[in-house]
Amino acid sequence: MNRFSNAYPSNKEVYMMRIKKSLLLLLLLFTFLLPLQAKQENKSIFIASKQLPFVLHVQTKNDKQMEIRFIPTDMLLPIRCQNEPSTLKQLNLLEDIACARNSVEAFFSLPTCDNTLYLHLDRLAKDLKVPYQNVDFYNLKDITSYFSKLLKKMNIKFLLRYNSYVDSDLSLSNYYHYYKLFKGKKIKLTYFYVNQIQLDDLTLPMEATFQPLKHK
């Protein structure tokens, strides 16, 4: 009798575990696709990518509502890990994602995110052959269309290589939590943006609050 038969997962269990963890990548894609099926607890995640002109503060309010806030990376903000104001795009968002998150949360008085996620969009776009260079990422319709194209190209081969496209601090239980986004009730997504002003070559926030963005 194998003493480890109940403790060591079978090949099928390992396979299913990898699939569940891989679904985190789809979470990012589904963030821009309506309607979204989900059953959620109160969770929040900070998402960044060098290829995107904004970072995302994603907060689940309850099992029916999720709020997504766009913060431009070219906006001048007090950066917590520096001694003077700067922009998020001046940071190495992969290595300094915690600094970016802390800076955004402090300035806009947002709740602390439970987790962070960095997306290597350049790798994903190249492997799926869906270029992003001509996408207007300030247009919600274009964003939705682009991520929809990525999702259609996604298959199990890419899902099982999720760690080539995503860096995050999520635990297995966190991954499973977001896996549940694909089950249960419909969840309403509400997008928010920052009013800003252009002064010479600087982009400045007009106020430290967000305005709702209607999804047309």
Q: 113 and 105 in contact (C-beta within 8 Å)?
A: yes
Q: What is the mean pLDDT of residues 85-111?
A: 94
List b or e across 161-191, with b for residues whose CB sees 16 or more CB atoms inside 10 angstroms.
ebeebbebebeeebbebbbbbeeeeebebeb
Residue 75 has pLDDT above 60, yes or no: yes
Q: What is the pLDDT of residue 122?
A: 92
- Place 165 in a pLDDT band, splitting at 50, 70 and 90: confident
- In angstroms, the CA 39 to CA 65 distance is 10
Q: What is the pLDDT of residue 41?
A: 57
Q: What is the pLDDT of residue 24?
A: 55
Higher per-residue confidence, 154 vs 33: 154
If one counts every other C-beta atom within 10 angstroms of the C-beta of residue 43, the result is: 17
Gyration radius of the chain's alpha carbons: 18
What letter does residue 215 receive in the DSSP assignment?
Answer: -
Q: What is the pTM of this model?
A: 0.76
Place of tokens 């694909």: 182
Q: Where are the alpha helices (DSSP H) in 160-202?
A: 172-179
If one counts every other C-beta atom within 10 angstroms of the C-beta of residue 200, the result is: 5
For the chain, list the domains and their CATH numbers: 11-213 (3.40.630.190)
Q: What is the pLDDT of residue 109?
A: 94
- In angstroms, the CA 210 to CA 87 distance is 18
Residue 8 has pLDDT above 60, yes or no: no
Q: What percent of the chain has pLDDT over 90?
A: 26
- Place 181 in a pLDDT band, splitting at 50, 70 and 90: low
Higher per-residue confidence, 31 vs 71: 71
The pLDDT mean for the chain works out to 76
- Place 211 in a pLDDT band, splitting at 50, 70 and 90: confident
- Place 185 in a pLDDT band, splitting at 50, 70 and 90: low
- In angstroms, the CA 81 to CA 47 distance is 18
List b or e across 49-60, with b for residues whose CB sees 16 or more CB atoms inside 10 angstroms.
bebbebbbbbbb
